[in-house]
Structure 1
Amino acid sequence: MSVASLRRATRETVSGLPREFWWLWTSTLVNRLGAFVATFMALYLTLDRGYSATYAGLVVALHGLGGVVSSLAGGVMADRLGRRPTLLLAQTGTACSVAVLGFVQHPAAIAAVAFLVGAASNASRPAVQAMMADIVRPEDRVRAFSLNYWAINLGFAVSSMAAGFIAEVSYLAGFLIEAGMTLICAVVVFLKVPESRPGREAKGLPEDTVGLGNVVRDGRFMGLVGLSFLVALVFQQGAIGLPVAMGAAGFTPADYGMAIAVNGVLIVALQIPVTRFIEHRDPRRLLVISSALAGYGFGLTAFAGSVGVFALTVCVWTLAEIVNAPTQTGLVVRLSPVHGRGRYQGMYTMSWAVASLVAPLMSGFVIDRFGAVWLWALCAVVGTVAGAGYAVLMRRLPVEAEEGAAATTATTATGPSSAKPEVSTA
Structure 2
Amino acid sequence: MLKIILSYFQSFSGLSKEVWWLALITLINRAGAMVIPFLSLYLTDNLEFSLQQVGWIMTSYGLGSFLGAWLGGKLSDQIGYYKVILGSLFLTGISFMAIQYFTSFWSICIGFFVLIAVADMARPAFFVALSAYSKPENKTRSLTFIRLAINLGFSAGPALGGVIIATIGYYGIFWIDGITCIIAGLVMIQTLHPKKAKILDQEVVIKNPLKAHKDGIYILFLIALALFGFIFVQYFSTIPLYYKKIHHLSEEKIGLLLAMNGALIFLFEMPLIAYLEKTNITKIGNVAGGFILTGISFVLFLITPWAGILIIGMIIATLGEMVSFPFGNAFALDRSKKGRQGAYMGLYSMSFSAAHIFGHNSGMQLIDKFGFNNTWIFMALISVLGIFLLYVVKQKLNNEKLVSTDS
Deviations 1:207-244 (A, max 9, x none): xx548xx1100011111111100111111010011012
In structure 2, the CA distance between the partners of 1:124 and 1:204, relative to structure 1 (3 Å rule), is: closer
Whole-Å separation in 2 of the counterparts to 1:293 and 1:25:
27
Matches within 5 A, 1:15-414: 15-169=13-167, 170-195=169-194, 203=204, 205=206, 210=209, 214-249=211-246, 250-279=248-277, 280-283=279-282, 284-303=284-303, 305=305, 307-337=307-337, 340-397=340-397
Q: CA deviation at 1:105?
A: 1.9
In structure 2, the CA distance between the partners of 1:314 and 1:202, relative to structure 1 (3 Å rule), is: closer
Whole-Å separation in 2 of the counterparts to 1:44 and 1:327:
33
Identical aligned residues as a percent = 24
- Tell whether the 8 Å contact from 1:6 to 1:273 is kept in structure 2 after alignment: no
Whole-Å separation in 1 of the counterparts to 2:2 and 2:148:
21
3-state SS of the aligned residue for 1:251?
coil
Whole-Å separation in 1 of the counterparts to 2:72 and 2:137:
26
Q: CA deviation at 1:246?
A: 2.2
Q: Name whichever of 300-309 and 12-21 sits farther off.
A: 300-309
Q: CA deviation at 1:299?
A: 2.3
Give the RMSD, CA atoms, in angstroms: 2.3
Whole-Å separation in 2 of the counterparts to 1:37 and 1:306:
29
Q: Which runs of 5+ in 1 are unaligned?
A: 402-411, 413-426
Q: CA deviation at 1:399?
A: 11
Whole-Å separation in 1 of the counterparts to 2:399 and 2:331:
7
Q: Which runs of 5+ in 2 are unaligned?
A: none
Partner of 1:404: none
In structure 2, the CA distance between the partners of 1:157 and 1:204, relative to structure 1 (3 Å rule), is: closer
Whole-Å separation in 1 of the counterparts to 2:29 and 2:307:
27
Deviations 1:150-186 (A, max 9, x none): 1111111111111112122310000000000000111
Whole-Å separation in 2 of the counterparts to 1:96 and 1:136:
31
Deviations 1:293-322 (A, max 9, x none): 211212212346455321211111111111
Give 2:328's aligned amino acid. Answer: Q
Q: CA deviation at 1:338?
A: 7.4
Partner of 1:424: none
- Tell whether the 8 Å contact from 1:160 to 1:258 is kept in structure 2 after alignment: yes
- Tell whether the 8 Å contact from 2:288 to 2:324 is kept in structure 1 after alignment: no
In structure 2, the CA distance between the partners of 1:282 and 1:357, relative to structure 1 (3 Å rule), is: same
Whole-Å separation in 2 of the counterparts to 1:399 and 1:73:
33
Give 2:353's aligned amino acid. Answer: A
TM-score (norm 1): 0.88
Number of residue pairs matched? 395
Deviations 1:360-412 (A, max 9, x none): 111110111111111111111111111121122102226999xxxxxxxxxx9
3-state SS of the aligned residue for 1:116?
helix
In structure 2, the CA distance between the partners of 1:128 and 1:398, relative to structure 1 (3 Å rule), is: farther
Give 1:191's aligned amino acid. Answer: Q
Give 2:380's aligned amino acid. Answer: A
